[in-house]
A and B are shown apart, each in its own frame.
Chain A
Amino acid sequence: MAIHGVALLALSCLGGFVLGDWLGALLGVKANVGGVGFAMLILLYLTGRFERADRFSPPSAAGLVFWSNMYLPVVVAMAAQQNVLGAIRGGPLAFLAGTTGVVACFALVPVIARLGRPPAAGTAGPEGGAGGA
């Protein structure tokens, strides 16, 4: 039944969020630390277990996949309620503070990705050029 997949997803989310809040409290931080990440790991673990035991029926999976497919519309709805004016009204200081960080971080992505490129990746890495360390 579809609700089984949805319930499993809800269980994973709630479990992950509790862990994230708990970790935040443990670190003395007023924020959820990694809740969504923990929820994803719980979901992967649970669905993997059920699938191996052959107890995750296609209708159950369909309930899960439906919400996965609703992700983009939810993000569009999220975009439609951003405080765009607040960002604009922040003026040049807010604009520069936000943009310089984003530009610098975008530039960092390929650098860090190269540092830790996993060995088993199928794509040819750029490490062929100069040999040695």
Chain B
Amino acid sequence: MSGILQEVLIKNGLLTAFLLVGGLMGLSYWASARLTAGRLHGSAIAVFGGLVLAGIGGVVAGGRNGLADLPVFAGLGLLGGNMLRDFTIVATAYGASFAELRRSGLPVVVALFAGVATAFLCGAGVAVAFGYRDAVSITTLGAGAVTYIVGPVTGAALGASSEVMALSIAAGLVKAILVMIATPLVAKRIGLDNPHAAMVYGGTLGTNSGVAAGLAATDPKLVPYGVMAATFYTGLGCLLAPSIFYLVLRVLCPA
């Protein structure tokens, strides 16, 4: 009996994922209304629940893809993969205001450069505090604090050690996960309640998955604005970190 059930669930992985996510979201909205009196939004709880499941999946399956490494839940990999993520995010732009997007153009450019530089400096500073003294390692760790894609791209370009690469990816993961969780909590304090602020936020924080999930948990209407800005962040990081940032660091810390 259970063998047949398992086989059906695995064969129809995407449907299993629909069911699992639907159930998780139902539970999250119920908990939001009943347990927090609506103070914590259901979508925020759902994203957090997803992360908890990812942790459990990581412990049980021992892989890198959270719950999606368990055969029964492999469909999550398709439903939450890059293709459908970008497809649905682009769809949210339908109905967005072109005028709003254009009006915030210049502040977004400022936000992108300031955001990448700030994250990089923080990551590089921590690397130095932990005793790293060579420009390659410091740059790679700083790049990891930008996003978990900028880190390994930079490390590969500069020839960083695999230990530093792993740490830099981990720093980027910490950032993405923290942005997912913290955005709805700090949204009011940083004035994240209009398209302009959402674009500046997306440009400053920039980690795609973090911004996407953080805004979804804050106010779905703001998603396209934040994501529109964030989409340039990783590219800018990959451009600046292994070039200008590395050259500056090489002057500051000659090996």
Residue numbers of A with Cβ under 8 A of B are: 9-10, 12-13, 16-17, 20, 23-24, 27, 29-37, 39-41, 43-44, 47-48, 61, 64-65, 67-68, 70-102, 104-110, 112-113, 115-118, 120-121, 123
Cβ-closest 10 pairs across A and B: A90-B170, A116-B107, A98-B174, A77-B80, A79-B50, A33-B235, A94-B170, A78-B80, A40-B93, A101-B119
CB closest chain-B residue, reference A123? B194
Mostly, the B contact residues are helix
> Once the chains bind, are B173 and A76 in contact (CB under 8 Å)?
no
The answer to the question of B88 belonging to the interface, with a C-beta cut-off of 8 Å to chain A, is yes
- Contact flag A16-B66 (CB < 8 Å), given A79-B80, A95-B174: no
Q: Which of B84, B122, B125, B196 contacts A74 (CB 8 A)?
A: B84
Cα distance, A70 to B130, chains bound together (Å): 43
* A93 neighbours in B (Cβ, 8 Å): 126-127, 130, 141, 167, 171
Mostly, the A contact residues are helix
- Contact flag A67-B91 (CB < 8 Å), given A44-B98, A87-B173, A102-B205: yes
Q: Which parts of B210-255 form the interface with A (CB within 8 Å)?
A: 212-213, 216, 220, 223-224, 227-229, 231-232, 234-236, 238-239
Cα distance, A1 to B192, chains bound together (Å): 37
Residue numbers of B with Cβ under 8 A of A are: 17-18, 20-22, 24-25, 43, 46-51, 53-55, 57-59, 64-68, 73, 76-77, 79-81, 84-94, 96, 98, 101, 103-104, 106-107, 110-111, 114-115, 118-120, 122-123, 125-127, 129-130, 141-142, 144-146, 149-150, 153, 157, 166-180, 182, 186, 190-192, 194, 196-197, 200-201, 203-206, 208-209, 212-213, 216, 220, 223-224, 227-229, 231-232, 234-236, 238-239
